[in-house]
Structure 1
């Protein structure tokens, strides 16, 4: 059953219980903003919109989302039943702009077997990451660390932002002013350029890093948990070269380590992507709230089961059963041709790693009310563009930091 069929099945169960009809309208993620803007102008918004955090605050400020209704849902379900991070990122004066439903934290994947053979420590600190990249770098057989370098890809922003957050670099200062021209940002730029020396030439993005890791040609990459499916070796349409070379299915998966929180000289962080359910200004509020509550209670595990490796529960449980959804998520199966539990295949260490970061997931700007600006930063790809110029040697780290601050301020 594909994701759309699963959502329709959840809706069917909801309708059977409440006699409230639900129509699921699929929209390609690249067209979501355009479709919502058009629907808002025509006063024909759907009652509920499933969307990534990139749009939440901006849509709230534009009058598309009804934060009061979303807050009422959160309070009714129990604010304490949600992970703190996803709620804090969409805090608005009336409470919360939307209701978090699922998410993932970005991971640093590394070859445990190669690390163990070389006597290298877990790459969770900048110095350990750089040291391991130097030791394991042996191109073209294996690249020490593959970072995003394509200026036209959001992936480059995501990887760079993870490292920036890990060094205490936020989009704004405590007063809410754009603050990227800092010594800490210069440190991030220089560190990123050092890692880029162990990355293949050209414009590298998520497709290359995933392909090279699954081919055994990358010692470290940064990716979302969605890679767990391909990495498992259980998919017939996705060959895993180290598994084939060793003649052992699951060899690469068993020999991959995962880091969620990266520690820099001036901080520590895990980049996260959260998805939300937004109740719109055009909604039948009573029915919309019931639908959202159903998705986060009786329909929740079925929702997460669409892709459990990348849909982590941001609601941990209920007031009566505080760990109901975490425990249920661990029993869910992933895979296409062969389905297994994440905890069975990868072990409880990985489960603890990816779940432990949910409370502390971080992003630039959202907690400071700059969500609309972040949407423009991501849309224009101004950060990857300047970063690429720096990586190419066209400008210095200090010039890049200054330029980033100036260009982002111009987007306000």
Structure 2
């Protein structure tokens, strides 16, 4: 996940650069097998690699850490880490015996890869979840961070992929909300007019954001990366339907040329598209709370909140082959490494209890609590989340802008989201597939007209099958 210039660490884009991580770690851990064990360090210092590495967020974490240090005497060394550099850093640390005690903000795919190489203390993660109370966590978040009965990490936060649309334009045209394939395509066609596109859709071959956008549509049509028998499912009928929809949207109703994470947002913010698919990290920017990513539509000049107030939000989409609407999102975790110091579990426990609300408040638009409450109040953190101020240059609770019902719907994604490969026991496939980008590459070729939808599905399936074989 290459960070954006204006957003040095936003977890709406999965990790890039994890190609070969499993193989590299195998070599690294073998080479380091004669090491003496955990890194030499001061007993009263914990090293935390933090993937949420924006300077202002690291500073906010330091303030939260101060409470833990005051109570325990253990100092926290927060090290900002670029996700793109994480694989090489892990390999180097595994060889040298300098793994951090804890890694913050790990996405599901990398959690699985580290677990495969036995670099996580899963017993410590299970202990933290048990002591906090498994029933205080989202069952979905726990399921996605488990391998069978083994708790791999401590789920901390959830963000959702959402379809945002111009409610005013839909109402004026008498269109149904874009919750189904049929409604999405009908609206895209109807609202593609001179000066405006029906949708702006990611087609960048070099960015996992394109895969995220595709998966968010695919899940609701029953299109799975891996089928029930363990084979790659991208060439199945349900996935071909998703490729066909994506092809129509990208070529007929979206701007020409490569569409990126930046351009899709910019086009929607300029009022030049009636729909786009993005993550919930869009919400504070769309509300005019971040000066370097303000809406630029004509109406927005007089009222920075105009676009947010005229935008509808869809969190789950259903296709013709799907049984029900499905949500897509990411669960990020605290990972306790096998090289941790004695206070690591205590620190993670603190961050999921006393320090939890403050941590969520760093960026509530992308940090819905995976732990919804505690023994005294099962909805304590979920309730508080809705009132946390969001934004950078201006701060305001998102519920005040988008309404409680919308925020509640976004929150429900934590209990309903689905992901590829993990339910089929092949979560370790996610990292390499994200890194090698077979799906974005075929989508790009499809969008520029060099591949038909059926050929794109077949080509993507072949590439993923090759990756699957390499992991066997």
Q: Distance in 1 between matches of 2:146 and 2:97?
A: 25
The TM-score, its normalising length taken from structure 1, stands at 0.96
Deviation at 1:392, TM superposition (A): 3.2
Query: Is this contact kept in 2: 1:243–1:251, CA < 8 A?
Result: no
Which structure 2 segments of 5+ residues have no match? 1-54
Answer yes or no: is 1:272 the counterpart of 2:329. Answer: yes
Q: Distance in 2 between matches of 1:176 and 1:319?
A: 39
Q: Who is 2:18 aligned against?
A: none
Q: Who is 1:358 aligned against?
A: 414
Q: Distance in 1 between matches of 2:177 and 2:326?
A: 16
Spell out, residue by residue over 1:146-200, the C-alpha distance to the aligned partner (whole angstroms, 9 max, x if none): 1111111111111111111111011212232222221111111111111111111
Q: Who is 2:388 aligned against?
A: 332
* Structure 2 counterpart of 1:387, from 440, 443, 450: 443
With over 3 angstroms needed to count, the CA separation of the structure-2 counterparts of 1:178 and 1:238, relative to structure 1, is closer
Q: Who is 1:175 aligned against?
A: 229
* Structure 2 counterpart of 1:368, from 416, 420, 424: 424
Q: Who is 1:125 aligned against?
A: 180
Q: Distance in 2 between matches of 1:98 and 1:52?
A: 10
* Structure 2 counterpart of 1:149, from 203, 220, 233: 203
Q: How does 1:176-195 map to 2 (within 5 A)?
A: 176-195=230-249
Answer yes or no: is 1:40 the counterpart of 2:87. Answer: no
Deviation at 1:243, TM superposition (A): 5.8
Answer yes or no: is 1:341 the counterpart of 2:397. Answer: yes
Q: Distance in 2 between matches of 1:76 and 1:251?
A: 45
Deviation at 1:32, TM superposition (A): 1.6
Tell me the secondary structure at the aligned position of residue 431 of structure 2.
helix
Spell out, residue by residue over 1:203-240, the C-alpha distance to the aligned partner (whole angstroms, 9 max, x if none): 10110011011111110000111111111124444442
Tell me the secondary structure at the aligned position of residue 353 of structure 1.
helix
* Structure 2 counterpart of 1:401, from 457, 468, 472: 457
Query: Is this contact kept in 1: 2:109–2:429, CA < 8 A?
Result: no
With over 3 angstroms needed to count, the CA separation of the structure-2 counterparts of 1:397 and 1:335, relative to structure 1, is closer
Q: Who is 1:28 aligned against?
A: 82
Deviation at 1:326, TM superposition (A): 0.8
Query: Is this contact kept in 2: 1:295–1:303, CA < 8 A?
Result: yes
Q: Who is 2:269 aligned against?
A: 214
Q: Who is 1:81 aligned against?
A: 136
* Structure 2 counterpart of 1:59, from 114, 131, 138: 114
Q: Who is 1:98 aligned against?
A: 153
Name the stretch that deviates more: 223-232 or 363-372: 363-372
Tell me the secondary structure at the aligned position of residue 106 of structure 1.
strand
Q: Who is 2:71 aligned against?
A: 17
Q: Who is 1:203 aligned against?
A: 258
With over 3 angstroms needed to count, the CA separation of the structure-2 counterparts of 1:247 and 1:70, relative to structure 1, is same
Deviation at 1:401, TM superposition (A): 2.2
Which structure 1 segments of 5+ residues have no match? none
Deviation at 1:371, TM superposition (A): 2.4
Deviation at 1:246, TM superposition (A): 6.8
The TM-score, its normalising length taken from structure 2, stands at 0.84
Deviation at 1:368, TM superposition (A): 2.5
Q: Who is 2:363 aligned against?
A: 307
* Structure 1 counterpart of 2:354, from 263, 288, 298: 298
| Number of residue equivalences | 410
Deviation at 1:387, TM superposition (A): 2.2
With over 3 angstroms needed to count, the CA separation of the structure-2 counterparts of 1:40 and 1:232, relative to structure 1, is same
Spell out, residue by residue over 1:91-145, the C-alpha distance to the aligned partner (whole angstroms, 9 max, x if none): 1145211111112010000000111111111111111111111111114x21101
